[in-house]
Structure 1
Amino acid sequence: MGAVILGWATETARQQGADALRLDCVKSNDRPRSYYEERGFVHRGDVPVGGAPSEATAGWSCS
């Protein structure tokens, strides 16, 4: 199901003229990070966000 959703999101973004798609996940959660990388997304950096002190997002994009 995840691959179908990522495919739909990527295609929808392209149809609307976007040249990138950003995905976020909690920095400490390696599972989605690996999943995104296996599907061609590239880690672009970490950004601190509000919430628990250990939470941050990982930005991903695929062109």
Structure 2
Amino acid sequence: MGTLLLEHLVSVARTHGIRAFTAEALTDNHEMLKVFADLGMPRPDEQAVHGMADTWLRRP
């Protein structure tokens, strides 16, 4: 479900000229981190702050 929602978000954002996203997930939320990875987002920095991992997505 997370992948479908994020793909839809990317599609809608693209139609509105948004080309970059940042995302946060709990470091122990491995399913969401996998969704990010499946969409080509870089692996979050291992230096998580307060159990939160950050990543980003940039689309042409």
TM-score (norm 1): 0.61
Larger Rg: 1
Partner of 2:14: 14
Contact 2:25 2:33 in 1 (8 A): yes
Q: Could you list the runs of 4 or more consecutive aligned residues of structure 1 that deviate by over 6 angstroms after TM superposition? A: none
Q: How many residues align?
A: 58
SS of 1:33's equivalent in the other structure is: helix
Structure 2 distance, partners of 1:6, 1:28, is 19
Quick one: percent identity of the two aligned structures? 17
CA RMSD, aligned part only?
2.3
Extract unaligned runs of 5+ from structure 2. Answer: none
